[in-house]
Structure 1
């Protein structure tokens, strides 16, 4: 049996990375930070361990495919993340020089309206935690997130 998961789809990763840059208001985003954003976006039940939902009494249910191998999954996504960044650079969405020099992502091409509409649909699907999620990533440095997540060590 073949099972599809959007986390392993490089084209869906391209879409997600555009979504993140849009939601984070096109700020420079460290590559490691966008990787953490993507991991928690794909597996939101892991947000419970970050305790960012406690203030709002939100507990995200664990799905049937829940795995305890967070670190393994996070590192497995690295290749997909690199490929998505390469694709976004090749399509002119990201600044190549900033990425190569600073390992940061900066959107330099306007996002098409059809994507903006899809972002709104995505927001509506994840309404219970979407705003909390992006608020957390906007307001915390990569170091603070790394310390809480324990997925990347410096």
Structure 2
């Protein structure tokens, strides 16, 4: 155990429409100033494989493209005993190179390498657009709900790792 630290990652690109939702939610969680919580934002999901080293749990917020209405929330437990993420929904936003490697790939690589924390929760926010520009009004209208849901998941993760510490 590492003292019950929880990592929050807001994943996505701030200039690609709804892909910015992960960072927006993470920044609002960071403003809560929770003890034992480290908050970062990243564009490249491959960094996750190393980022969550030293953390007992992680909360990742990312945009999702699964065909549901924009703003819909998806919550998945994907820690070392969780189910794999569907690569079709948790994918890169059409970028090439390492950016074509999405969240699902990062989780499964970390699982294979043994670096995936025991407790990992993903909060996905259904996106409308990944085009260059601001977040869509539909996703922006659901931002408060995404923050509230992510905060509740974060509190549950903190309680879980503190009870195991």
When normalised by structure 1's length, the TM-score is: 0.30
Greater strand percent: which structure? 2
Point out the structure with max Rg over C-alpha.
1
Whichever structure has more helix as a proportion of its residues is 1
Alignment TM-score, normalising by the size of structure 2: 0.29
